[in-house]
Amino acid sequence: MQIVSSREEFQWLLLVLMGVLLSLLPESQLWLGCLGAVLLVGIPHGSLDIYLLWFKSKKKPLHFIASICKYIFIVILGLLFWKKFPELFWAFFFFAAIYHFGGSDEHPEILASITYKSVFKTLWVLSRGTLLVFAPFTFHPQKITTYLSYTVPTSFAAKLTTIAPFLFGYASIGFLFSTIICWKKAPLYSYRWILIKHLLSLFVIIALFVVADPLLSFSLYFCCHHSLSHSFRVLNRFQTRFRTMGAFLTILGTTLCSIPLLFWVERQFAQRTTPDGMVTASFVAIAALTFPHLIVVNDLHKNLSRRVHLWKSNLPPI
> Could you state, in order of their start, the residue ranges of all structural domains in the chain?
45-306
State how far the Cα of 90 lies from the Cα of 231, in Å rounded to an integer: 26
* 222 close to 18: Cβ distance less than 8 angstroms: no
Dist. CA 33–CA 24, nearest whole Å: 10
- Supply the pLDDT for residue 307: 53
pLDDT (0 to 100) of residue 316: 47
Q: Determine the pLDDT at residue 137.
A: 94
Return d(Cα 290, Cα 90) in angstroms, integer.
12
Residues 6 or more apart whose CB falls under 8 angstroms from that of 39 comprise: 255, 258, 259
Q: What count of other Cβ atoms lies within 10 Å of the Cβ of residue 106?
A: 23
Look at residues 206, 175, 212 and name the one whose alpha carbon lies nearest to residue 27. Answer: 212
pLDDT of residue 27: 83
In angstroms, the Cα distances linking 245 to 7, 230, 232, 251 are 22, 20, 17, 10
Q: Could you give the 3-state DSSP secondary structure of residue 151?
A: coil
pLDDT computed for residue 165 by the predictor: 94
Q: Could you tell me how many residues make up the chain?
A: 318
d(CA 217, CA 242) in angstroms, rounded, equals: 32
Regions of the chain with pLDDT less than 50: 240, 309-318
The most distant pair of C-alpha atoms in the chain lies apart, rounded to whole Å, by 62
Q: Say what the pLDDT of residue 198 is.
A: 86
Helix axis angle, 141-148 to 275-305, nearest 10°: 100
